Structure 1
Amino acid sequence: MKVSNEQIETTMVELIASLPPGKGVDPTEVARAIAGSDEKVWRLLMVPIRAVAVKLADDGRASILRKGRIVDPHDFKGVYRIGAAAPVEGGAEADPS
């Protein structure tokens, strides 16, 4: 099964958008949404899914979560989840008028 990074990204973004605030999606959920329930098929998508998750985190469009906390997308190991982008520090600037 050939799957593009764009297809992985689209699926991932849609799943993240459907989550309640503060929650993350398991990467295996992304894989199953694309490839179905056959583990031999969806398991092959785990490396590209991780790469797309890191790219989205780098772009500020997602966060990598470990134990419910945002971690460095280039320095994490083990079980992780993919969540919504981290809020920008300081938020929007106040209207001066």
Structure 2
Amino acid sequence: MENETEKPLDPVAEFILETLAESGSVAPVDVARALGELRKRTSEKPDAWRRFMNPVKQQMIHLARAGRIEITRKGVVVDPEDFRGVVRMRLAGAKPQED
């Protein structure tokens, strides 16, 4: 660890950052589905990924507050403290993607 006072990132936050590094821009639901697929047990229902939605949203907001990612709605960066509707996330400072 570079800084001894720095806390390690939550595994969900790490997964979000890894996904964004590969994808550029992604919706929280897509991250939850990918995480659910990665951690899927054979006995689980197909919609078991839904249990990851709240942790993904919480970590998305945490990372946006820390300035590591941006939350966008209709291509415009929104305040992580006050947003609604369908959003996407991207690494902070990344160029907007054509969706």
Identity between Structure 1 and Structure 2 (%): 37
Aligned position for 1:30: 31
Partners of 1:86 and 1:50 lie apart in 2 by 20
Match of 1:6 among 10, 13, 18: 10
Please state how far the C-alpha of 1:26 moved relative to its aligned partner: 1.1
Q: Residue 60 of structure 1 contacts residue 86 of structure 1 at CA under 8 Å; is this kept in 2?
A: no
Runs of 4+, deviation exceeding 2 Å: none
Please state how far the C-alpha of 1:57 moved relative to its aligned partner: 0.5
Aligned length: 79
Please state how far the C-alpha of 1:19 moved relative to its aligned partner: 2.5
Aligned position for 2:22: 18
Larger radius of gyration: 1
Taking only aligned residues, the RMSD between alpha carbons, in angstroms, comes to: 1.8
The TM-score with structure 1 as length reference comes to 0.73
Please state how far the C-alpha of 1:86 moved relative to its aligned partner: 3.4
SS at match of 1:18: helix
Partners of 1:12 and 1:71 lie apart in 2 by 18
What aligned pairs does 1:57-72 form with structure 2 within 5 A after superposition?
Answer: 57-72=64-79
Q: Residue 11 of structure 1 contacts residue 33 of structure 1 at CA under 8 Å; is this kept in 2?
A: no
Unaligned runs of 5+ in 2: 1-8, 41-45, 95-99
Match of 1:49 among 53, 56, 60: 56
Unaligned runs of 5+ in 1: 88-97
Please state how far the C-alpha of 1:59 moved relative to its aligned partner: 0.6
